[in-house]
Chain A
Amino acid sequence: MKKSRIFYIIFHFIFLIFYCLYADSWPEPPDYDFYAHPLLEVSNADDIFMLGKVLNTVEKQGQKETLNIKLLNGKIVKAEKYESEVPILTKKGTPVLLTQNKSEKTVIVDYDRSSYLSILAVLFILAVLIVGGIKKLTGLTAIGAGIIFVIFIFLPLILRGWSPLFLAAISVILITVSVITGINGLNKKSISAIVGTILSSIFVMILGLIFYPLANINGFSLEPVQMLNYFSKNYTSFPFEKFSELLISILLIGATGIIIDVAVCVASIMEELISKNSRIARKQLLMLGLKAGREIAATVSNTLILAYFGSELIFILAATLSIKSYAQLFNNEWFFIVVFQMLAGSIGFFIAVPLTALTASFLMVKK
C-alpha cells in the first residue's frame, strides 16, 4: 500500500518533468536586431514606472495596439504597447510594467516579472524558515545586510571616485564581523575566526594586486565592463577609471562567504578540542586544529569553482566558442580573469585554515 503510493508520486513527478521538457510552451520570437543593446535606449530619468494587469484590448491597428490596464490601486487606464524587438504578448490578466512620462501617455514597456519573483522569494524564505528554524538565521540576515550595503553604498561611492579596493576591504570587514558575531556572539572563537578571515582576504587582495597588473588585466574583454566604461563616460561627471581595482574587489567579495565558513569551522573545532582537554599544549592544539581544518578545506575545494562557473556559464560559453588554439586560450584576458577568480578565492580559504588555527591557538591557550 505504502510502496505503491510512493511509486505513484514518483511517476507523476517524472511525468511532470517530461511534460515541461516537451510542452510546446516556449514560442520563438521573430527575428530581431541582435546588436541594438536594450541598455543603449536609455529611458528618461523622470519616467514613472508602475505595475498593472491587462483587462482587454480597445483597438488594434496593425502593429499598434491599445489596451485597458487595471493599475494596482484599482484605476483603469488606456495604454499603448511599446514596440520593441521582442513583442510583448498579452492576454487578459497578464501582469505588465507601465511607464508614464510628462505628456501623460502611458506605455507598456515590459512584463511584470517582480510579482512572480517575489513568489519565488517567499517560497525561498518559507523553505529556509521551515528547514532552518528562526534561530539559525542571524548569519543569513547579516549576509543580506552585507549585500544591501554593497549595492546601495559601495556602488554609488565608487562612481563618485572612491577607490573600489578600499570600499571592498571595508565591506569584507563589515560582512565578516557581522556574520561571525551574529552566529556565535563575541568571544575568543569568533575573534579568531574574524582575524583568520580578514588576514586571508588580505592575502587574496595582495595576490590580485600582484598578478592583475603583471598580466595587464583591465577587464575590457568583458561586455559589461565595456558598457560600464561607455555609460560612465557619457552619463556621469566622474568617468570610472579603476577597472582593474573593481575586478579585484569583485574577487574579494565573492570569496568572503566561503572563507568565513571555513574559518568558523576551524575555530569551533579548536574550541571543542580545548573543552575536551583543557590542559592541551599550544603546539598540540595547533597540530590537531590544522589536521581537522585540512579535512574541511579538502571537502569544500570545488565549491567556489562550481559556483563561479555556474553563475557565469553563458559568458564563458560565449567566449569559448571562438577559441581555436591553446595559444589563444591561455593568453586570453577573460580566461585569466575566470581562472584567477576561481583559484584565488580557493587559495583564500585554504590559507584561512592555518591562519585561523594559529590565531585561535594563541588566543585560547596561555602557553
Chain B
Amino acid sequence: MKKSILFLFIELLLCQYIFADIFCKAKVLKIGGTEIKGNAKIENVSLKIISGKHKNKIVSVKNYLWDEKNYNTYIKPGDTIVIRINETIDGKIDRVSIKGYRRDKILFLFLLVFLIVVFLTCGKKWLVVIASITVTISSFMFLLLPMLKNGHPPIIACGSVAMLIALAMLLLILGFSKKFIASVLSLSIGMLFSVLLSIIFINLTKISGIFMEGSRMLLTATRSITGWTISDFRGIIIGSVIIAALGVTIDIIVDIVVGMSALHNAKKDIARKELMASGLKIGRDVLSGMLGSLFLVFTASSIIMMTVYTVLKTPALRVINWEFFAVVLLEAFIGSLTFVIVIPITVLVSSLIFTKK
C-alpha cells in the first residue's frame, strides 16, 4: 500500500516528462460496463473531445476507481472533465487518460465574484487595486516562475522580481517624488539585510535543502528539466523570505514615509531628531498588527504538515530540529525580523533625505 502510493506518485510525475502530451476538455457521452481488477474498479467511458486540436473526436477511456476514494474522478454522463492525450510521433491519438474534474469555469466564476467585491467595496480605488494585483500575479506567473525554470540563480531572480513589484507598487501609491526615493532606498537596504541574515543562518543550521515541504517534488521535476543543484534550493528559501515579507514591508515603509513627509511639509524647519521620533512612533503603532498577520500566514501554510507531526506523535525536540520545520521557523523569523528592522532604517533614510541637517 505504502509503496503502491509512492510508485503511483512517481509515475504520475515522470509520465509528464517522458511523453509529449496534451491536456484538453472532454464531455462524457456514456459509461459502459465496469470490471474489477485488483484494488481498482474500472469503468469503460466514451468521451467526446471538445477542445484542442483533436476536437470533436470520440474516444473510449478506462476510468480507474481506486479503493482510496480521494484520488478518484467520479463522473456521470453529461459531465465535462479534463483528459490527457498522448500522441504518437505523427500526431495521432495514442492513449487517453482521465486527469480530473473541470475547474476553470468555477475559477473564473470566483474571479468574477472577486471583481464584484472589489468594485463594490473600493469605490473609485478599484482600478488601482486591480492594477496592483494584476501586476503582482502576472510578474510571478510570467517573470519569476519562467526565470526559475530556466535556471537563473533563485536569489537574483526572486530579488529582482520582488524589487520590480515593489517599484511598481510604490510608483502607483506614491508617484515619483522624494518619498518614492526614500522608500526604495530603505526597502533595498532591508532586503540586503534579510539576504545576509538568511545566508548566515542557513549555513549555521546546516540546511541541506532537500527536506523542505515540496522540495522532493521539485527535485523530481528539475532532474529532467534544468541543471539545478541542491544549493539552488537554499537560494529558494532566501527568495521566499524576501517575497513573503515584501507586502508588509512595503506597507509599513509607505506608512512611515507618508507620515514623515506630511510632517515635514507642515513644518519646514523641523529638527531631524523630532522628525525621526515621530516616524518611529508611526512605525510602532502599526508594528504588532502587521507582524501578527505575517505570523498567521506562516502558521496557516504549515498547518497540514503540523497535523502530520501530531498524527505521528513526533517528540517536540525532533520536530524542531527537523529540516522541514526548521525551514519554516527560519523563514518566519527572518521575514519578521526584516520587517522590524526596516522601521528604523526607513526613519533614518527618510530623515536624511527630507531634512538637510
B247's partner among A38, A305, A313, A324 (CB-CB below 8 A) is A305
In the complex, the number of residue pairs spanning A and B with C-beta atoms less than 8 Å apart equals 418
Q: Taking A124-B340, A156-B310 as contacts, is the C-beta distance between A49 and B318 under 8 angstroms? A: yes
Is A331 a contact partner of B102 (Cβ separation < 8 A)? yes
Query: Which of the listed residues A29, A310, A312 has the most CB atoms from chain B within 10 Å of its own CB?
Result: A310
Is B251 a contact partner of A215 (Cβ separation < 8 A)? no
Name which residue of chain A comes closest to B285, CB basis. A136
Q: Taking A43-B318, A302-B136, A351-B121 as contacts, is the C-beta distance between A179 and B292 under 8 angstroms? A: yes
In Å, the complex CA distance between A177 and B119 comes to: 29
Is A26 a contact partner of B106 (Cβ separation < 8 A)? no
Is B100 a contact partner of A333 (Cβ separation < 8 A)? yes
Is B284 a contact partner of A256 (Cβ separation < 8 A)? no
Is B192 a contact partner of A13 (Cβ separation < 8 A)? yes
Is A29 a contact partner of B208 (Cβ separation < 8 A)? yes
Is B121 a contact partner of A28 (Cβ separation < 8 A)? no
A243's partner among B70, B211, B217, B220 (CB-CB below 8 A) is B70
Q: Taking A305-B137, A322-B16, A331-B102 as contacts, is the C-beta distance between A117 and B320 under 8 angstroms? A: yes
Is B239 a contact partner of A114 (Cβ separation < 8 A)? no
B305 to chain A, nearest CB (A): 5
B205's partner among A116, A243, A309, A335 (CB-CB below 8 A) is A116
The bracket for how many chain B residues form the interface is 35 or more
Is B299 a contact partner of A222 (Cβ separation < 8 A)? no
Q: Cβ of A364 < 8 Å from any Cβ of B?
A: no
Q: Taking A50-B317, A120-B334, A229-B70 as contacts, is the C-beta distance between A310 and B245 under 8 angstroms? A: yes
Interface residue SS majority, chain B: helix
Residues of A within 8 A of B (CB): 13, 16-17, 20-21, 25-26, 28-29, 32, 34-35, 37-40, 42-43, 45, 47, 49-51, 86, 89, 97, 99, 109-114, 116-117, 120-121, 123-124, 127-128, 131-133, 136-140, 142-144, 146-147, 150-151, 155-156, 158-159, 175, 179, 183, 207, 211, 214-216, 218-220, 222-232, 234-236, 240, 243, 246, 249-251, 253-254, 256-258, 260-261, 264, 290-291, 294-295, 297-322, 324-325, 327-328, 330-333, 335-336, 339-340, 343-344, 346-347, 350-351, 353-354
Closest 9 pairs between A and B when the two form their complex, measured CB to CB: A310-B244, A257-B293, A254-B300, A303-B247, A310-B243, A306-B247, A315-B214, A143-B292, A257-B296
Q: Could you list 10 further interchain pairs (A-B, Cβ under 8 angstroms) beyond the known A124-B333, A246-B304, A303-B247?
A: A97-B317, A124-B337, A207-B110, A246-B307, A306-B165, A310-B331, A318-B215, A318-B218, A320-B149, A347-B117
